[in-house]
Structure 1
Amino acid sequence: MKLISIVAILSILFIIELIYFKIAASFNIIDKPNARSSHQTITLRGGGIIFCLSAIIYFTLYGYQYPYFMLGLLVITAISFIDDVLTLNNKIRLSIHLIAVLLMFYQWSLFDLNWYWIPVALIFVIGTINAYNFMDGINGITGSYSFLAIVTLYFINEKMVSFTSSDFLIIIALSLIVFNFFNFRKKAKCFAGDVGSVSIAFIMVFLVGQLILKTENFNYILLLLVYGLDAVITIVFRVLRKENIFKAHRSHFYQYLANEKKWSHLVVSGLYFFVQFVVNILIILFIKDSYILAIGLVLSFGLLFLFVRFSMEGKKRLIGE
């Protein structure tokens, strides 16, 4: 993509985001602090709608590629935006999510493979979307983490194996730059909302899935390792404490650092970015397609994460009496 095209699209995305802010303010689409929140002030919600809109720009300008994925993205973004505004019944929301995921599977040609890949892919996709949604709780974390993932995927696509459109990766990266401009700051101008966290998760899963299908290397799942560790280990702790894992909470490690330890949101987001950056470097340079090394990486980081959490939070807080 030429520099002039990048500048033009970036400018358009900034204008779109500013127009959305006007609409959100007019219709009172805001995020009010509650018991689960890590912020104290009312902030515009739904700024993450820019992710889906940037994908639509790509789809329109670059030959209508990935139509079934794009339709799924549009469907899941629309239902997430409605949920942000009205709060829908879970059955309706999850049903639409399933339709969107099945459209993604069709784009992947997953139904041409053996049947057992369908439940495996469902667990991966639904798990990742929910993890992204749960982890989107402080300024900068989702925007910076996703930007790192996109940059890493772009490097892999350009230097290692071509698995997707580089133009698509660039445009999504531009949307993340715009979002981070308004979100990665001490007092955020906007939050991603469910529409943002769910749509960028859907995009991320599609891209990682493309890479895995192209290379037949499942180690690339680890490009989302840090989010996965925090999400999965937090669920385990909540189960041990006999809590309802579907109920809103502030039990993630990033929430502990931001809320209990009073660390700056940007410091916590930067920490998650840095750790995942180290993981990505290890994947590209050393782990590659070695499952033994990948298992070693997961175990090492998992044990280190548990050690840090027990050291900082304590056994009583993590697993109860």
Structure 2
Amino acid sequence: MIEHLLVFITLFILIHIYFKIADKYNIIDKPNHRSAHSQITLRGGGIIFPIAFMIFCLFNCKETIQVYWPFGLGLLAICLVSFIDDIKTLSGKVRISVHFISVCLLLYFTKTFNLLPFWTWPMFFIMIIGTLNAYNFMDGINGMTGAYTLVTLLTLLYINQDIIAFTADDFITYAILASLVFLFFNFRKKAKCFAGDVGSMGIGFWVIGLVTLLIMKTQDYKYILLFSVYGMEVVLTIIERLSLKENIFEAHRRHLYQLLANEKKLSHLTISSIYAISQLVINVFLLHTKLPIGIVILIIFIPFGAIYLGMKISLKRKMKSVIK
């Protein structure tokens, strides 16, 4: 506990130092046509996540070299390219190349290459890249990334301690401490900072690594449903944009959380809490059910999907009536 308190305080101090650097070098997020915020805010507060991993390495030097080096290289690579992209837009080829290398390192770290036949590897590449991008797409309002991530990490810590040990507790706990520090400055009506790509990609990479470790340990693929809410939101939004013949790679404001924030004018913190609590409800059900994964998917996605689509249809009708 003392170690964790010291780490929390250290992270708190380090993020303050970053704020001074970001302010000096104008690392800010300016609102644009698709933003859910209206004020200039410091960007890149999510740098606290790779910093938390580096502190984890300092306390676990020998084990880090032997066990965590592939994960560490992948995390730092994806965070570095994302941080640079936060400051100066990089070409898609550079980002994709680094993401590919980082995912390779992640799959090596989780022993996916050893435990699964080679013909399944492309599926894992697609799932991981898709989940990373989901984290990036959903990082658009105050509290969303931090609150949703905290729920997932606490669930993983519970699994690790009470159901099946799949990694060191501190490998999860340090990510939780970083999330709490970030939330202190982000879960506000007027956020002190945003995660930026370095934050959404960094913590996304970390959580994906943990979930992949869990799946490889248990060979139970139901744990992919720890990303249910983000996954459903992103997939349904992509389907909607494809049906409208829109370019899915262009910026947009079609996510439900964007509509709730921009059109419904619902509080960012309320929306973020709803998303986090929804995933928490799913996680509790997931950990206590013994039903086959196919039935679990139906039980989760039919009601949540219906609520999602119902809210979106209602919001669009109101928008059309206002325009008329």
- Name the CA distance, whole Å, in 1 between partners of 2:123 and 2:306: 25
- Name the CA distance, whole Å, in 1 between partners of 2:178 and 2:190: 20
- Name the CA distance, whole Å, in 1 between partners of 2:314 and 2:30: 33
What is residue 186 of structure 1 aligned with on the other side? 189
Q: Does 1:54 align with 2:52?
A: yes
TM-aligned CA deviation for residue 174 of structure 1: 0.4
Aligned length: 315
Gaps of 5+ in 2: none
Matching residue within 303, 306, 313 for 2:306: 303
Matched to 2:306, the amino acid is L
CA contact (8 A) 1:219 1:288 kept: no
- Name the CA distance, whole Å, in 2 between partners of 1:109 and 1:281: 27
Matched to 2:237, the amino acid is T
Q: Does 1:285 align with 2:288?
A: yes
Q: Note closer, same or farther for the CA distance 1:315–1:295 as it changes in structure 2 (3 Å cut).
A: farther
Gaps of 5+ in 1: none
- Name the CA distance, whole Å, in 2 between partners of 1:313 and 1:116: 42
Report matched runs for 1:92-241 at 5 Å. 92-112=94-114, 113-241=116-244
CA contact (8 A) 1:51 1:199 kept: yes
Of the structure 1 ranges 53-62 and 79-88, higher mean CA displacement relative to structure 2 is found in 53-62
- Name the CA distance, whole Å, in 1 between partners of 2:75 and 2:36: 28
What is residue 29 of structure 1 aligned with on the other side? 27
- Name the CA distance, whole Å, in 1 between partners of 2:319 and 2:6: 53
TM-aligned CA deviation for residue 145 of structure 1: 0.3
SS in 1 for 2:45: coil
- Name the CA distance, whole Å, in 1 between partners of 2:123 and 2:302: 21
- Name the CA distance, whole Å, in 1 between partners of 2:275 and 2:113: 35
CA contact (8 A) 2:45 2:194 kept: yes
Matched to 1:138, the amino acid is I
Q: Does 1:45 align with 2:39?
A: no
Q: CA RMSD in A?
A: 1.5
Q: Percent identity?
A: 48
CA contact (8 A) 2:31 2:37 kept: yes
CA contact (8 A) 1:50 1:196 kept: yes
Q: Where do 4+ consecutive residues of structure 1 move more than 3 Å?
A: 287-291, 314-317
What is residue 11 of structure 1 aligned with on the other side? 9
SS in 1 for 2:39: coil
- Name the CA distance, whole Å, in 2 between partners of 1:100 and 1:159: 30
TM-aligned CA deviation for residue 105 of structure 1: 1.0
Per-residue CA shift, 1:96-130, capped at 9, x if unaligned? 11011111111122222311221110111000000
Scaled by the length of structure 1, what TM-score is found? 0.95
TM-aligned CA deviation for residue 287 of structure 1: 4.7
